Structure formats: C-alpha cells, structure tokens
Amino acid sequence: MTLLDPTTTWHGKVFSDGWAKADGGDAAVIEPATGAELGRTGIASPDDVSRACARASAAQRAWAATGFEERAAVLRRAGQLWEQHAAEVGDWVVRESGAIPPKAELETHIAAQECYEAAALPSRPLGEVIPSTSPRLSLARRVPVGVVGVIAPFNFPLILAIRSVAPALALGNAVVLKPDPRTAVSGGVSIARVFEEAGLPDGLLHVLPGGAQTGEALVADPHVRVISFTGSTAAGRAVGQAAARHLKRAHLELGGNSALIVLDDADLDLAVSAGAWGSFLHQGQICMTTGRHLVHESVAQRYVTELAEHADRLTVGDPARDRVALGPIIDANQRDKVHGLVTESVREGATLAAGGTYDGLFYRPTVLAGVHPGTPAFAREVFGPVAPVISFGDLDEAVALATDTEYGLSLGILSRDVMKALDLAERIPSGIVHINDQTVGDEAVAPFGGVGSSGTGARFGGAAANVDAFTETQWVTLQGAITRYPF
C-alpha cells in the first residue's frame, strides 16, 4: 500500500472529515533542492478552521469516553504504520525539507516512538486521592482539555507535529494540526494518512496547512482550549499573546542560540567533531543548533583551524540524488537571512575561516573566528550552517558569555571532568543540558523545552510533561449523604 499517493488522496486537499477541497485554494509543494513542484496541497481558510474545530469538539466527547485499551490500540497501530512506511515518508522528508536521508530516518523512527509512548498514556493513573477535612472521598483527576491546536514548523516537520498530536489524541482529545505549507506532506498529510489507516474515528484529527491567517484563526477559535506551538520566538510571542486574550493555554517551543562550551581539558578532536555536527546538521535549521562555540583560549586557535577543515570537507548538494552532508536551505528568504548575518559579522570584524558562500539554496558550512559578544552571527539566532567561535579565559567568563542571551534552550559542555562540567551547567539557565555532547538531541521519552525566549518550559516529551500539557486538573468529592447546612 502506498501511503502518500497524491492522485488518490491529498492532491489539492486538506484532511477534515476525509479529504476535501479547502476554501483557501491550494499551493505548490516545492522541492528546495531543485525547485520542482512535487504536488499541490490544500490551504485552509479561517472558515475551514472554524468548521474543523466545531467538528473536532463534537467528536471529542465520544473519544474521551472510549475505553483506554481502544485508544491505546490506535496509537500502537500508528506506530507500526510509521515503521512500515518509513522509506516512503522519509523520501518526502528528504525532498520537501532538504534533509539528508539519515535525518529523515530519525524523523520516522521518533514518530513511531512517539506513538508507542503515547499508547501507554491512556492506561496511566491520571489522578490521586487527596486528604479532606470533611467525611468524604476527595480526588484530583486529570481530564482531557477537549480540542488541541497544533502549529508545527518546517525544519523537523514530522517530529515537531507528532510529538503533540500523538499524546493529545491518546489522552482523549481531538486535534487540529496546522503544518507549515512548505512541508505540508511530511508534516501533515503523512500524519493524517497514518491515523486514517490506524482506525482513528472520524472528526478527531484535522490537518489544515496554511499561513499566518490560518494559524490566527486556530488560536482564536473558541473550541480550542490549548495551543501547542513550535516556531520562531517572534511568532511564538504573537501566539502567546493571542492565546492569553482568549484565556487559553499556549505551550511554546521557540528559538535558541545554544552554546557549546569546550573546556581546556576536552579531547579536542572529539570536540571539533561534536561542534561540527551541532552547527551543520540539517544546515543548522534546528532550534537546538550549536549557535555559539565558547572555547578555552588555550585551545581556541586549534579548534577554529580544525573546525574550518571539517567544514571545508563537508559536501553540500541534493540529498535525494547524491550522498551529501548538507542539503539546501529551505527557501531563498532564509538563505538571504543567513548570508546577511554572515556578511554583517565579517564587516564588523569577524574572520571568515570557512564557507560564507552559496550556490542557489546550497550554503557552505561556515566558521567565523574573531567574534565578540555583539557580533551579529553570535548574538542572534542564525538558523543556518554557521559556527561562530569565541574564546574565554576562565569559567566565570564562560558563564558570562553563555548567559549573555535571551535564549535558554540547550547547552553542551565538553570536559574530561564531568563533575566540573555539571557544576558549570548549574550556573547557566537552560532547559536542556548535555555533558560531553553537542546541543542537538531529542528522544520521545525525554522532557523537552526551553526557558527565557526559548519557550514556556518542558511541555513536550515524557509522560509527565504530556499529561500536564494536554489535560486539565479537576477536583471531585464524593460522600454518602447530603451535608446538612445551617441555612
């Protein structure tokens, strides 16, 4: 069975009670490496969103009342379908997002694991007995929120959607998903098709690609009680403000400018390899990308030299046709933003140790030396394959540099003395810390989220975070007879 054949399912359509044409028309799905049109996806209008949310709200009540075994079975079947169709879905991840095949394999693997982990949620104890001063049974129980709106980005289109869709469904909610239209197939259509084949009842999942207008309608819709958003900090602030106006919760996983701290006792060959992976994986288009390399002054020059050599050796090209290390930047606007930050940094005194050039959407992995805290590519989130390197003299200076940012998503510290590294980490606010690893990592079982301008904390991944994100707490008391009151 072919899961994603556009001629039989999704061409020019959205998924909302089956596949249907959207009021917002359709848009091309473009392969960034070649500019080729891979198909056309429907674009949802605000009216499409309104109808989908109302239908989701109506369907959710029966789903919440469905036995936990049945809900768990749907999620297990979904996990199996991701494994069965990994090659087909992975090919779309490569062609739509410009990912290299190993990155696509990671996405399909984690998608399956997210569904398997979510399958354990319906049978999880979702409450507690609490003490009461009255002769009664007093309970705090978790109940579904109702309808969850999910807004997901282009860079890891499958993982960053399924990590909210799967647990929200497992816990008895309905979901309306707005994938980025640039990756509407791998980040939207594939999820709709998997749950369609897994036997999810009608009305519980709606997939509505679209732009800002579609997202605004989803956040504002009165049927939606929780918004799960992954994207830029600027967009996240707007989503959070809009959600607050409507008195609904918004779980925000936003941008980052994550630091990798290389202490003087680190194995430098391994440190350079880790730094290259952290900055150049998926063209640096990852919220956790190593955006700042903080290297002890005694090894900084050697680190820059070897990191530049790594960058120069890496191949850049079409990942669907060639064996390459980096694929294309997602589009020309993002490429121009990356190049603008690089050229501005060089004008302000940074040294271009490697890269800094592009051919079409293919941007060479870039190393910048001689940067200072105000260097644009060091101070801002680049979201491209750029590694700015700065040196420090002692741990206090390293802490000062690492904390001189509005972000707090991920932190890597490389040292042979792991306890010293852990002590250092405790001085730097960060939602994620990796000792002796670079900054990029994700697992379905791990809580994920940042602090500061990186988001609202760990509201993704792991059972506790998912239950907190997609349920409400309800207080219930029971007693044998009606209390007699003095009135």
Residues with catalytic roles: 253, 287
Q: What is the CA angle 75-92-86, rounded to 5?
A: 40
C-alpha to C-alpha distance for 307 and 367, rounded to whole angstroms: 7
Tell me how far apart the terminal alpha carbons of the chain are, to the nearest angstrom.
69
C-alpha to C-alpha distance for 150 and 179, rounded to whole angstroms: 8
Percent of residues in the chain assigned helix, strand, coil, to nearest 5:
40, 25, 35
Host H or E run for residue 253: strand 249-253
C-alpha to C-alpha distance for 340 and 321, rounded to whole angstroms: 29
3-class secondary structure per residue, 330-371: CCHHHHHHHHHHHHHHHHCCCEEEECCCEECCEECCEEEECC
What sign for the dihedral angle of Cα 277, 112, 334, 241?
Answer: negative
| Burial of 276 from C-beta contacts in 10 A (0-12 / 13-18 / 19+) | buried
Spatial contact of 460 and 227, defined as CB atoms under 8 Å apart: no
Spatial contact of 458 and 308, defined as CB atoms under 8 Å apart: no
Spatial contact of 229 and 241, defined as CB atoms under 8 Å apart: no
What is the number of residues in the chain? 487
In this structure, are strands 358-359 and 362-363 parallel, antiparallel, or unpaired? antiparallel
C-alpha to C-alpha distance for 177 and 62, rounded to whole angstroms: 20
Spatial contact of 33 and 316, defined as CB atoms under 8 Å apart: no
For the record, the structure tokens of 273 come out as 């390899």
> Letter for the amino acid at 205?
L
Host H or E run for residue 41: strand 37-42
> Largest Cα–Cα distance of the chain, in whole Å?
84
3-class secondary structure per residue, 103-140: HHHHHHHHHHHHHHHHHCCCCCCCEEEECCCCCCEEEE
For the record, the structure tokens of 119 come out as 């399958």
